[in-house]
Amino acid sequence: MTKTIDFRTEPANYRHWKVEYDGPVASLIMDVDENGGLFEGYQLKLNSYDLGVDIELSDIIQRMRFEHPEVKVVVMKSGKPGVFCAGANIRMLGGAAHSHKVNFCKFTNETRNAYEAALEDSGQNYIAAVKGACAGGGYELALACNHIMLTDDSTSAVGLPEVPLLAVLPGTGGLTRVTDKRKVRRDRTDVFCSIEEGVKGQRAKDWRLVDEVIANSKFDETVTARAQEFAANSNKVDVAKGIKLGPLERNIADNGSLTYSLVEVELNREARRATITLSGPNEDAPADMAKFEGQGDQAYLLKLCRELEDAILHLRLNEMECGLWIFKTQGDAEKLLAHEAVLTASKDHWLANEVLHYWKRTLKRVDVTSRSLTAFVENGSCFAGVLAELLFAADRTYMMEGEFEGDNRLPAAITLSPANFGPFPMGNGLTRLETRFLGEPEMVESAKAQAGTAIEAEQADELGLVTMILDDIDWDDEVRIFMEERASFSPDAMTGMEANLRFAGPETMETRIFGRLTAWQNWIFNRPNAVGEEGALQRYGTGVRGNYNMERV
């Protein structure tokens, strides 16, 4: 799988999903084109999916928030008779490189997290209307909804059959949601994940695997009634019209470097690193949210977030050997904070709310990316407010100290704002500063006391906001040594170490999902019992079970 994967799409290009809008209720219909796989060599039968199907779903969820804020309830259902969704396509998984499989699982989990959080963040409630088989990743789609309705007939069932069929971890996020979200008993979950045929009818409800079981003859009308009921009881403010998300403009150079309007990604494949530079705003901040809304998708903080997210996803899937990402910024910090203040002062405005939550989701993508992350706070940088979060997401941060010969830019500084103390929590439920200073909460308060002031190198070091400050004499050598050293380490060791260090503090369902993905699924997808020539993924559908090495490791 070597072709470039493009995460940019729009409704006119959808092949796998249909959306019908009816006032406050939207119907999200999965109708996968079996010949529309992202790669050759498999068909997407029975509403099974690959990354291309999920790229469309992610786009729909985003547009639902920004383009259709009038929607209060989304009903997810199948457009094919006899099947809701058969889950991730097995032929695709069997033929994919290990790195693609793991990154595919990560993206699908981020997509499910996005619509699972839509009720709390955006007032959009997702209902799964399950008719037919709903297995593996298909049940994960349903589990991420807030309410699951199952028709009571001879063919409709929910299941996580990966263990008996494929020799892999049941659903990653799905398994965690069964135990942590739906609070299914451990012994029942053990049974549930050990059977191929799934669980039907009243038993599925009794075990908390679904919320309602409805006679087939009354299913459609009950789903409609439930959606209208949820919409009527919603406290989401009525919004007459959203904003259109236009195409993202992006250029890719021959060496793989990316150029957007506000983001540049310089690739050095030989050195295995990517330098991501974010630009501050050129224009003054809009006077208020009415002006901001009038700018549509060209509003600075919305446009910057869209470009950064696309760059992250592109690098993850298309530049897997670039193991070191370096974040830089350039621009006017005060001007950036003025743009941010328009949003934070109007959090009750629907669009301000959506942009802030979009930044939250995008920063979480940074947190769970399996790359070494560093940030260089250089002269002229604008690591302020929301962009300062990148410093605290990074594994290390280097900052320039004092004057640099031939450099007439403003001295390197960091400016904190209210955005660094609450609006953008990590998956563990804490802010990045709270996670950074887990054993020193007083350091968070010290940092908070400096909010709004430009913090230069010596003070940033004293406040613990950076890893190292370097003067003109040492900067080039120290930075070079760090980059060369990082690129020489085992990527497996780095992924394990970084994933363990980034999420200090309490466990949540979200940290458990990505922790299991990083550790267990990463390991299982390398094991011959799953992916070897006689493994279950290779033999699936042949009528011959996998030939397992029976050692417990």
| Residue 209 pLDDT | 98
Handedness of CA 246, 100, 512, 417 (dihedral sign): negative
Q: Using one digit for the tens of pLDDT, what is the confidence trace for 152-182? A: 999 999 999 999 998 888 876 888 999 999 9
Per-residue pLDDT tens for 5-21?
999 999 999 999 999 99
Segment 189-233, tens digit of pLDDT: 999 999 999 999 999 999 999 999 999 999 999 999 999 999 999
The pLDDT-based confidence of 521 (bands split at 50, 70, 90) is: confident
What's the predicted TM-score (pTM) here? 0.96
Whether residue 89 contacts residue 110, with contact meaning beta carbons closer than 8 Å, is answered with no
- The overall average pLDDT reported for the chain is 96
The per-residue pLDDT for 1 is: 45
Q: What is the DSSP string of 275-321?
A: EEEEEPPSSPPPSSHHHHHHTGGGSHHHHHHHHHHHHHHHHHHH-TT
Whether 358 and 302 have beta carbons less than 8 Å apart is answered as yes
* Neighbouring-strand partners of residue 49: 88
Beta carbons within 8 Å of 358's beta carbon, 6+ residues apart: 62, 65, 302, 305
Domains 11-232 and 256-496 share a fold: yes
Fold of domain 11-232: 2-enoyl-CoA Hydratase; Chain A, domain 1 (3.90.226)
Judge whether 521 and 108 are in contact, CB under 8 Å: no
Judge contact between 375 and 398, C-beta under 8 A: yes
171 vs 390, higher pLDDT: 390
- Asked if residue 316 has pLDDT above 90, the reply is yes
Q: Is the pLDDT of residue 509 over 50?
A: yes
How far, in Å, CA of 63 to CA of 11, rounded?
9
Give the whole-angstrom CA distance, residue 427 versus residue 90: 29
Per-residue confidence band for 526, with pLDDT thresholds at 50, 70 and 90: confident
Q: Which of 56-65, 114-123, 496-505 has the lowest mean pLDDT?
A: 496-505
Domain covering 256-496: architecture: Alpha-Beta Complex (3.90)
Distance CA 117, CA 115 (A): 5
Backbone φ and ψ of 299, nearest 5° = -55, 135
At 431 the three-state DSSP class reads: coil
Question: Which pLDDT does position 341 carry in this prediction?
Answer: 98
Which residues make beta-bridge pairs with 76? 28, 128
What are the DSSP calls for 487-510, one per residue? HHS-HHHHHHHHHHHHT-S---HH
Domain segments of the chain: what residues? 11-232, 256-496
pLDDT tens-digit series, residues 461-486: 999 999 999 999 999 999 999 999 99
Residue 86 reports pLDDT greater than 80: yes
Q: Is the pLDDT of residue 413 over 90?
A: yes
Angle (CA) 121-56-304 rounded to 5° is: 60
Q: Is the predicted pLDDT of residue 2 greater than 90, yes or no?
A: no
Q: Tokens in use for 331?
A: 């621009």
d(CA 426, CA 416): 17
- By the 8 A CB rule, do 47 and 134 touch? no
